[in-house]
Structure 1
Amino acid sequence: MRVNLPSRIASGKYSCFCQLYFLFFEKTVQLRFIMALPVTQQVRSFSRFYTNFLGLLNNQILDSPLSLSESRILYELAKNEGTTSNQLVATLSIDKGYLSRILKKFEKEKLLLKVPSVQDKRVRILSLSAKGEKIFRHINEKSEQQVAERIGHLTEDAKHELGTILQKTERLLDTQRAQPITLEDIVIRTDLRPGDVGFVIMAHGELYQKEYQYGINFETYVAKGMAEFYERYDPDRSRVWVCEHLGRRVGFLLLMARGNAAQLRYFFLSPEYRGVGLGKKLMQLYMDFLREKGYLSSYLWTTHELFTAASLYKRAGFKLVEEMPSNAFGKVLTEQKYELIL
Structure 2
Amino acid sequence: MTVQEIRAFNRFYTNLIGALDYSRRLHAPYTLTESRVLYELAHSPRTDAADLRTELCLDSGYLSRMLAKFEKDGLIKRAPSEKDTRRQRITLTVRGRETAGLLDERSRETIGSLLSTVPPSDRPRLAKAMHEVREILSDGRRPPRGEDVVLREPGPGDLGWIVQRNAALYTAEYGWNTDYEGLVARIVADFAEDHDPHLERVWIAELDGRPVGCVMCVRDDAPGAARLRLLLVEPEARGLGVGDRLVRACVEFARGVGYRELVLWTNDVLSSARRIYQRHGFVLLAEKPHRSFGVDLVGQDWRLDLHGPQE
TM-score bin (small chain)? 0.5 to 0.7
Q: 1:167 to 1:330 in 2, by over 3 A?
A: farther
Q: CA separation in 1, counterparts of 2:133 and 2:174?
A: 31
Measured against aligned partners, the alpha-carbon deviations of 1:36-62 in whole angstroms (never above 9, x if no partner) come to: xxxxxxxxxxxxxxxxxxxxxxxxxxx
> Does the residue aligned with 2:156 lie in a helix, a strand or coil?
coil
Partner SS state of residue 205, structure 1: helix
Letter in 1 for 2:160: G
Match of 2:199 in 1: 237
Q: Root-mean-square deviation (CA), in Å?
A: 2.7
1:213 aligns with 2:171: no
Match of 1:340 in 2: 304
Confirm or deny: 8 A CA contact 1:252 1:268 kept in the other structure: yes
State the distance in 1 between where 2:4 and 2:259 align. 61
Change (3 A) 1:334 1:171: farther
**Percentage of identical aligned residues:** 33
Corresponding residue for 1:97?
none
- Does structure 1 residue 285 correspond to structure 2 residue 236? no
The C-alpha deviation readout for 1:161-198, integer Å capped at 9, x for no partner, is: 245456668988999432121222122123x4321210
- 3-state SS, counterpart of residue 286 of structure 1: helix
Contact 1:164 1:247 in 2 (8 A): yes
> Which stretch of structure 1 is more off in the superposition, 262-271 or 274-283?
274-283
| Cα 1:201/1:77, change in 2 over 3 Å | same
Task: Map residues 160-239 of structure 1 onto 2, 5 A cutoff.
Answer: 160-165=123-128, 176-190=139-153, 192-239=154-201
For residue 183 of structure 1, what is the amino acid of its counterpart?
G
The 3 A distance-change label for structure 1 pair 198 and 341 is: same
291-300 or 160-169: which moved more?
Answer: 160-169
For the 8 Å contact 2:177–2:293, the answer to whether it is kept is: yes
Does the aligned pair in 2 maintain the 1:297–1:339 contact within 8 Å?
A: yes
Matched AA of 1:291: R
Q: Is the 8 A contact 2:282 2:304 kept in 1?
A: yes
1:58-86 per-position Cα deviation (integer Å, ceiling 9, x unaligned)? xxxxxxxxxxxxxxxxx589989xxxxxx
Residue 232 of structure 1: CA displacement?
Answer: 2.9
1:257 aligns with 2:219: yes
Partner deviation per Cα, 1:127-154 (whole Å, 9 max, x = no partner): xxxxxxxxxxxxxxxxxxxxxxxxxxxx
SS in 1 for 2:281: coil
Structure of greater relative contact order (alpha carbons < 8 Å, 6+ residues apart): 1
Deviation at 1:246, TM superposition (A): 2.5
User: What is the 5 A alignment of 1:1-342?
Assistant: 156-165=119-128, 176-190=139-153, 192-258=154-220, 259-342=223-306
Q: TM-score, normalised by structure 2?
A: 0.55
Contact 1:301 1:338 in 2 (8 A): yes
Task: Report the count of equivalent residues.
Answer: 193
The 1:162–1:319 alpha-carbon spacing in structure 2 relative to 1, beyond 3 Å, is same
How far, CA to CA, are the matches of 2:3 and 2:132 in structure 1? 25
Structure 1's consecutive aligned runs of 4 or more residues displaced over 4 angstroms after TM superposition are 75-80, 165-176
Larger Cα-atom Rg = 1
2:210 is aligned with what amino acid?
Answer: R
Q: Distance in 2 between matches of 1:170 and 1:308?
A: 34
Q: Distance in 2 between matches of 1:167 and 1:199?
A: 23
Q: Contact conserved, 1:171 with 1:178, CA < 8 A, in 2? A: no
After superposition, the Cα gap between the structure-2 partners of 1:291 and 1:213, relative to the gap in structure 1 and judged at 3 Å, is: same
Structure 1, unpaired ranges of 5+: 1-74, 81-154
